[in-house]
Each structure stands twice: as structure tokens, then as C-alpha cells.
Structure 1
């Protein structure tokens, strides 16, 4: 025995946005968009403002991470040009974290630029724009976290010879912004 779905029920799975509203001669999607034009304009403006602010932060992180890759802690050997602390594990952690900060901030910048250059059509607000915003914010957060790791390891490299106990406070202080973000 087959159960026939009631198409007048809004919760029915067969109801689609493309069906025509008999009273207005428009599809349900067109009626939905028409009734919410103001919200779409506000949402578009919010997306532009948020993307502009976040792309500015991502570009700053890119610049800092790029500069940090060439002004390494401990300096370079004058004869070979190689970093003096190249064989230390903490130096390799610094370089990897700095590279990851650079790459993730560039990715975040590209995501935010993709949002800024989009057409802001109503259907873009369903999947495309939220996906780009979430990816952009995720990569921005990752770049901040990697930058904190790079900064913490640079401090450890510089201060570890004099104060052996410095690892614990630096790790705790670097974790504060990440924990605070997770709580908020």
C-alpha cells in the first residue's frame, strides 16, 4: 500500500520552491525573495563589511608572517646565509608554524576577496556565501593560531638559554587567546 503525500502540507518533502503560487502567478521562491528584499540588502552589506575587515586582518598577518620568515630568531650565518639555529627543533617548529600562518592567511584573504567580488544573488545566500565566509573565518582563525605558535617558539628560542622555565608561561599565555575564542 502506497501512501500519497499531501502537497498542500508545507512540511511535505515534495513541496519545492519552484512551484507556482496560484494567487500571485510567481514561484514560491520569487515570493520569498520579494518579501525579504530589505533583509537581502542588509545581509549583502554585512557580508561586504565583514569580508573587508577580515581581509584587512588576513593581509596584515600575511605581511608579518612573510617578514618573520626572513628575519629569523638567532640571525643568519654571515658566510653561508643559513640560519644559525637551523638544527634546533624549536627553530623548525617556528618555521613550520610561520609557513602555515602565511599559507592560511593567504587562503583566508582569497576567501574574503571571493565574497567581495560575488554578485550577491538571493540563491548565493543559501550555500555559496555562507560556505566562503565559514572557510574564510576558519583559515583566519588558523592563521592567528599558527602566528601565536610561531611567536611563542621564537620567544622560547631567544629566552631558553637564560631562563629554562620560560616554556610553561609562554605556552599558557599563547593558549589564552585560543581558549577565549573557543569560549566566546
Structure 2
């Protein structure tokens, strides 16, 4: 009976670790995604004056695209260990 309880505890702890890793993956990627979304919202709500096209809008577009690329990279970096944790048991 002790062996069964020990195995149950290990299985439960492993499952909870995987769930925690997945949550961290989502939160880690969401932080950088929000920054990109805010930049694109600033572009959409811009007044589109002539001087904005020379400096403000291109800068916002570059920052937004950089944040978008960084959020995709962060999501893949965070997702890979979570996936390897899940597949390691199999």
C-alpha cells in the first residue's frame, strides 16, 4: 500500500509540474504579446498627420514588429521545455 501511495504522489506531482510549466509558458509569452498589441493600437489610433509618417509611425511600427517577433520567440522558448517535460515520461 505504501508503494501505491508513493507512486500516486509522484504521478500527481509530475502532472502538477507540467500544468505549472504550461501556465508559466502562457504568462511568459503573454507579457511580450501585450507590448506588441499596445504598439499596434497606438498606430491604429494615430492622427495620421504628415509629420507622423516621417518619424512617429515608422518608429511605432518597428517597435511593434520587434515586440511581436520577440513574443513569438519567447513563446517558443518557453513552450519547448514544457513540451519536453510532457514527452519525457513517454
TM over 0.5: yes
Note the alpha carbon deviations across 1:129-164, whole angstroms, 9 max, x for none. 0111011001100111111122212210111123xx
Between Structure 1 and Structure 2, whose CA radius of gyration is higher?
Answer: 1
Give the 3-state SS of the residue equivalent to 1:120 in structure 2: coil
Trace 1:155-174 onto structure 2 (pairs within 5 A): 155-162=83-90
- Aligned residue pair count: 77
Trace 1:87-126 onto structure 2 (pairs within 5 A): 91=21, 95=24, 97-126=25-54
Deviation at 1:100, TM superposition (A): 2.9
Q: What value does the CA root-mean-square deviation take over the aligned residues?
A: 2.6
Task: State the TM-score, normalized to the length of structure 1.
Answer: 0.37
2:12 matched to 1:84? no
Question: 1:25 corresponds to which residue?
Answer: none
Trace 1:2-21 onto structure 2 (pairs within 5 A): none
Matches of 1:140 and 1:109, distance apart in 2: 8
Matches of 1:139 and 1:159, distance apart in 2: 30
Matches of 1:142 and 1:99, distance apart in 2: 14
Task: State the TM-score, normalized to the length of structure 2.
Answer: 0.71
Unaligned runs of 5+ in 2: 1-11
Greater fraction helix? 2
Please identify runs of 4+ aligned residues in structure 1 that moved more than 3 A. none
Give the 3-state SS of the residue equivalent to 2:73 in structure 1: helix
Note the alpha carbon deviations across 1:100-132, whole angstroms, 9 max, x for none. 310111111110000000011110011110111
Question: 2:9 corresponds to which residue?
Answer: none
